[in-house]
Amino acid sequence: MSVKPHIAVVGAGAFGGWTALYLLRSGARVTLVDAWGPGNSRASSGGETRIMRGAYGPNQPYTKLAARAHELWKRHEDEWKRRFFFPVGVLWMVEGDGAFERGSLPLLKDAGIDFEELEVKELARRWPQISCENVEWGIYEPKSGYLLARASTQTVVDQFVAEGGEYREAAVAAQELDAGDWKELRLADSPSTIRAVTAEDSIVATGRIVADRYVFACGPWLGKMFPRTVGPHFVSTRQEVFFFGTPAGDRRYDEHNLPVWTDHGERFMYGIPGNQGRGFKLADDTRGAKFDPTSGERVVSEEGLAAARRYLGYRFPGMRDAPVMETRVCQYENTVDHNFIIDRHPRNANIWIVGGGSGHGFKHGPAVGEMVAGLVLEDGTAEASFCLKRFCL
Ligand SMILES: Cc1cc2nc3c(=O)[nH]c(=O)nc-3n(C[C@H](O)[C@H](O)[C@H](O)COP(=O)(O)OP(=O)(O)OC[C@H]3O[C@@H](n4cnc5c(N)ncnc54)[C@H](O)[C@@H]3O)c2cc1C
* Distance (Å, whole) CA 341 – CA 357: 8
pLDDT at 206 (0 to 100): 52
Atom of ligand 1 nearest to the CA of 240: 1
H-only helix segments in the chain: 14-25, 62-80, 99-111, 120-126, 149-162, 222-225, 302-315, 365-378
* Distance (Å, whole) CA 352 – CA 375: 9
* Distance (Å, whole) CA 44 – CA 163: 25
Q: Give the CA angle between residues 115, 117, 120 to the nearest 5°.
A: 140
Residue 24's pLDDT band, with cuts at 50, 70 and 90, is very high
Q: What is the pLDDT averaged over residues 86-101? A: 95
Residue 188's pLDDT band, with cuts at 50, 70 and 90, is confident
pLDDT at 181 (0 to 100): 86
Task: Verify whether ligand 1 is closer than 6 Å to residue 12 (CB atom).
Answer: yes
Judge whether residue 371 has pLDDT over 70.
Answer: yes
Q: What is the pLDDT averaged over residues 232-258? A: 96
Task: Verify whether ligand 1 is closer than 6 Å to residue 50 (CB atom).
Answer: yes
Residue 393's pLDDT band, with cuts at 50, 70 and 90, is low
pLDDT at 152 (0 to 100): 98
Instruction: Quickly list DSSP for 74-114.
Output: HHHHHHHT---EE---EEEEE-TT-HHHHHHHHHHHHHT--
Q: How far is CA 40 from CA 27, 152, 237, 278, in A?
A: 28, 12, 17, 18
Residue 191's pLDDT band, with cuts at 50, 70 and 90, is very low
Judge whether residue 192 has pLDDT over 50.
Answer: no
Task: Verify whether ligand 1 is closer than 6 Å to residue 219 (CB atom).
Answer: yes
Judge whether residue 256 has pLDDT over 50.
Answer: yes
Q: Give the CA angle between residues 268, 270, 274 to the nearest 5°.
A: 170
- pTM recorded for the entire structure: 0.96
Amino acid 230 reads: V
Task: Verify whether ligand 1 is closer than 6 Å to residue 157 (CB atom).
Answer: no
- Tell which one of 10, 41, 44, 160 to mutate to probe ligand 1, the residue whose CB is within 8 A of the most ligand atoms: 44
pLDDT at 204 (0 to 100): 45
Q: Which residue has the higher pLDDT, 318 or 202?
A: 318
* φ, ψ for residue 314, nearest 5 deg: -70, -45
Judge whether residue 201 has pLDDT over 70.
Answer: no
Residue 194's pLDDT band, with cuts at 50, 70 and 90, is very low
Judge whether residue 380 has pLDDT over 80.
Answer: yes
Q: What is the pLDDT averaged over residues 340-355? A: 97
pLDDT at 265 (0 to 100): 87
66-80 burial code (b ≥16 CB/10 A, e <16): bbbbbebbeebeeee
- Tell which one of 262, 341, 362, 372 to mutate to probe ligand 1, the residue whose CB is within 8 A of the most ligand atoms: 362
Task: Verify whether ligand 1 is closer than 6 Å to residue 16 (CB atom).
Answer: yes
Percent of the chain with pLDDT over 70: 95
Q: How far is CA 66 from CA 239, 296, 365, 370, in A?
A: 23, 31, 9, 13
pLDDT at 189 (0 to 100): 60
Q: What is the pLDDT averaged over residues 200-210? A: 62
Q: What is the pLDDT averaged over residues 367-379? A: 98
Secondary structure in 3-state letters for 28-46: CEEEEEECCCCCCCCCCCC
Task: Verify whether ligand 1 is closer than 6 Å to residue 359 (CB atom).
Answer: yes
Rounded mean pLDDT of the chain?
A: 94
- Least Cα distance to 50 among 157, 155, 151, 159 occurs for 151
Judge whether residue 87 has pLDDT over 80.
Answer: yes
Q: Ligand 1: distance of its center to the CA of 355 in Å?
A: 8
| C-beta separation of 386 from 380 below 8 A | no
Task: Verify whether ligand 1 is closer than 6 Å to residue 268 (CB atom).
Answer: no
Residue-wise pLDDT tens digits, 268-314: 999 999 988 889 999 999 999 999 999 999 999 999 999 999 999 99
